[in-house]
Each structure stands twice: as C-alpha cells, then as structure tokens.
Amino acid sequence: MPTLAALTIYAFGLTAFAAGIMHLLSPSSATASLGLPDSCMPATNGNSLAAIAMGIYYTLAAYQENRTFFYLTVPMRMLTSTVFWSQGGNWKMASIWEGGGATITALALYFGS
C-alpha cells in the first residue's frame, strides 16, 4: 500500500496528466479557461505536453516512494502557486490547486514520517 504522501503525489500526477491530455485535445478550452486569446495556442499546446510529462514523472516517483522527490515538490509547487496567484483572475484557481496540493503533500510527509 502506498504511503499517504505517495497518494498525494499520485493524485497530483494523475490530475496533471489528465489536464494535459484534455487541453492537448481541446486547446481552445484551455485558453478560454485561463482567459487567454487564441494566439496563445502554441504555448497552450507546449504546456499541455509539459503537464503530460509531469504527470508521468510524478506517478513514477509515487510508485517508487521517492520521498526526496516528494519533499522537493513542496517548495516548487508553493512558488508556482504564488506566481499563479499574482497573475489574478482565472489563474487563482490554478494557484489554489498547486498550493493546496503542496500543503496536503507537506502534511502527509510530516504526519506520515
């Protein structure tokens, strides 16, 4: 059975993978959800591919119970959350997803060790 921390990483990885696939298949929905113009489509496609890759390596790290990876994701995801929050508007939802996930992972690491 995976640890609680690994489960949080699995959840983040699977949601990143799913979002990447969804946005790659329908990039206009991705740009619309963030209030971006259609001219951002190439960047949206690139970000979708990055989300797919991130989903793969997060789930791999969870499978391997790579606690060092788990710990290192927390500050990076909090930084990402801060940057997204500062963008305002629709980016705040992405910020909450990142920051909330990082906080849950941090708590799982703290209480699970």
pLDDT digits (tens, 9 = 90+) for 19-43: 999 999 999 988 988 888 989 999 9
- So where are the chain's domains? 4-112
pLDDT tens digits, residue range 41-93? Answer: 999 999 999 999 999 999 999 999 999 999 999 999 999 999 999 999 989 99
Kindly report the number of other CB atoms within 10 A of residue 92's CB atom.
14
Residue 38, number of CB atoms within 10 A of its CB: 10
